[in-house]
Amino acid sequence: MVQVKVTEGILEGELVNNDLAGNFYSFKGIPYATPPLGDLRFKAPHPPKPWQGVRNAFNHGPQCPQHNVITKQVEPGSEDCLYLNVYTPVINTSVLLPVMIWIHGGSFCCGNGNDDVYGPEFLIRHGVILVTLNYRLEVLGFLCLDTEDVPGNAGVKDQVAAMRWVKKNISVFGGDPNNITIFGQSSGGACITYHCVSPMTKGLFKRAIAESGTMLNWWAHSYKPRDRAIALARKLGCTSEDDKELYEFFKKQPWENLVGIQVPLTWKEKEVAINLIEFSVVSEKHFPNEELFFTGDVIEALKNNIHKGIELIVGFNEDDGFISFALSHDIERTIELANNDESYFTPIAFGRCYTKDELIDVGNKIKEKYTRGEKISKQNLTPLANFYSMEAYKFEIMQFAKYFSVCNKTYVYEFSCMSERNFFAKLFGVSHYFARNIVCHNDDIAYLFPIKSVSQKISKTSNTYNLIYRMTSLWTNFAKNGNPTPDIKLGCNWRPFNAKTQSCLNIGNEMVRSVAPYKEEMEFWEQLYVKYFPNKLYRPVK
């Protein structure tokens, strides 16, 4: 056992021995905020309370109650879920180590920071400290009434509270509070990019890595959050639109009533055949007694509010869009709609702002682009998956990179590694629909974290081990000094990105430099945005 003294009291962790990582110290279930219960539900987190004596840090804290988007089952937890975990290779050191804080994904509605998925073994052997955490999800984390009682963004404010706790305490674990990298994937990646523009997070981190998600992706910013909250209240039996009555109603609901309920607002949301992300980050109203996490327009924030000096890695997986089939309610219905509904290929972002009739031409253009006149079928789902990849991930991620690289050093990647660790398509039950091997959304996670449920012993002489070692080297090199390839040991010099050169690195079984990935397809989408969203399209500064 090992003890450290943090601001709130003494923690006792344990020394762990692992074949891959060697010895490291583990501290789990550390409270970084007061439990958000009762009158604190939906509110920004309060600082943690001190404790007497020695606090056991051997077990993870509870996860937030949630609806698992993969199993489609409700998973119990506790609203008392604001806990983090610290894994460090050394405690007493004269040279403080770089720190990496992981924000898990899960569509803003599921997931946790526990080591059944996000264990430290692959990363900390490179001489970094790993911090993982839980935060509030879905309605509990992102309900917004545009009021002081329920201003929204509680879940990302939880993340800020965890980052503040780490900044204040990480030195006692051997970590450098002035060398912190935040990183996350999918909705976690989107959160990372919001932290890069939020006034609450200035000075809390030095670098950031956003995998398969940014604040520009349509699913990363909530659509009409107050209207959605009222629609949810009505679905639960409350017809009032009074602010106080709505707050009291939601505050009294058991968490079981606030998990996994769909409340579509637009015609596109009602017709689409996949699970929607309905509760996410909002533009907050200003209240005198509340810290603002984010307010205003995402494009304006990227033009004016990016923290100067933050270095960034951002990118996507080759087949990110294949996850849409995993989340589909009914693949047969998806195929029928794709073939017969003129508006099916209309992007959800467009459907939030225009009527179905206004967008029939858009849907037909996109359908022709991706299907080339061929019918979608179980034997021919790739065109639809390619559309999903660009519509939900790739195009807006590349637009984000263009904005961010104007003022800060930015690296862009496409992840295409292929080995037995690419298991998410199989886990989702969709791999048999495709004739080729795919690099699905989430597949990059297995090259950064062990994932206990699927990990087999990995031989240090295997190609898989080399792929894991290379991927974790890129990420930890960046966390150490801002350069993912500081020497030629990894076989390639990763060049920074800007909107003119569009340098990119394909992280596959080999690393290959490229420029302007998916150039022709990106230009097709740019033309659509020129007509329908000209203010959201990146324009070079003259």
- Tokens at 204, concatenated: 């809390």
Distance CA(138)–CA(261), nearest Å, equals: 10
- Tokens at 237, concatenated: 């039996």
- Which band of pLDDT confidence, cut at 50, 70 and 90, is reported for residue 382? confident
**Position 220 pLDDT exceeds 60:** yes
What is the average per-residue pLDDT within 442-464?
88
What is the average per-residue pLDDT within 405-432?
89
**Position 531 pLDDT exceeds 60:** yes
What is the average per-residue pLDDT within 98-115?
97
Distance CA(521)–CA(369), nearest Å, equals: 9
- Strands 97-103 and 175-185 come out as parallel
- Which band of pLDDT confidence, cut at 50, 70 and 90, is reported for residue 379? confident
Q: Nearest 5°: CA angle at 323, between 338 and 387? A: 45
What is the average per-residue pLDDT within 176-205?
98
- Which band of pLDDT confidence, cut at 50, 70 and 90, is reported for residue 541? low
- pLDDT of 542 reads 53
What is the average per-residue pLDDT within 50-67?
97
**Position 431 pLDDT exceeds 80:** no
- Which band of pLDDT confidence, cut at 50, 70 and 90, is reported for residue 475? very high
Task: Kindly provide the residue ranges of all beta strands, DSSP E only, lying in 83-165, ordered along the sequence.
Answer: 83-88, 97-103, 129-133
- pLDDT of 243 reads 96
- Tokens at 377, concatenated: 């079928």
Task: Compute and round to an integer the Cα radius of gyration of the chain.
Answer: 23
Beta bridge partners of 514: 504
Task: Kindly provide the residue ranges of all beta strands, DSSP E only, lying in 397-478, ordered along the sequence.
Answer: 410-415
- Which band of pLDDT confidence, cut at 50, 70 and 90, is reported for residue 20? confident
Distance CA(414)–CA(503), nearest Å, equals: 11
- pLDDT of 470 reads 96
